[in-house]
Structure 1
Amino acid sequence: MTRIPDIESFEERAAIAEYDGGLSRSEAENVAARGQGFPDAAAYWQWLADYVVARRLP
């Protein structure tokens, strides 16, 4: 099964975690990434970068 990130949902969840939850941006992005099945924000952003470069799903 391929995970397809939802960028809008990621950004919204990260913003809520940051501003309402009092987390740093980095921590908030990790929360948002885990919510989409990624281990952390680095894995989320890497997936997107690989997708952009390959122009196809990994």
Structure 2
Amino acid sequence: MNRLPDIDAFEERAAIAEFDGGLSREEAEDLAARAQGYRDRHHYWEVLADYVIRSGRP
């Protein structure tokens, strides 16, 4: 996957799914991650962490 995770979109979608949709935080994050093409929240955070480490950005 070449696309970088969109943190703002992820957080917004997860918050809406959690509070308006009644999902648990974990379920909401899985939904938000899948919306960006990731398998689940673990895959999303793994890709984001790898990007931060490789780019040297805080």
Fold agreement, TM-score > 0.5 = yes
Work out whether 1:35 is the aligned partner of 2:32.
no
- Where in structure 2 are there 5+ consecutive unaligned residues? none
Size of the aligned set, in residue pairs, is 56
Distance 1:54 1:4 in 2: 12
- Where in structure 1 are there 5+ consecutive unaligned residues? none
Deviations 1:8-36 (A, max 9, x none): 00000000000000000000000000000
Give 4+ residue runs of structure 1 displaced > 6 Å after superposition.
none
Q: Which residue matches 2:19?
A: 19
The two structures have a TM-score, normalised by structure 1, of: 0.90
> Offset of 1:54 from its aligned partner?
0.8
The share of aligned pairs that are identical, in percent, is 64
Distance 2:39 2:50 in 1: 16
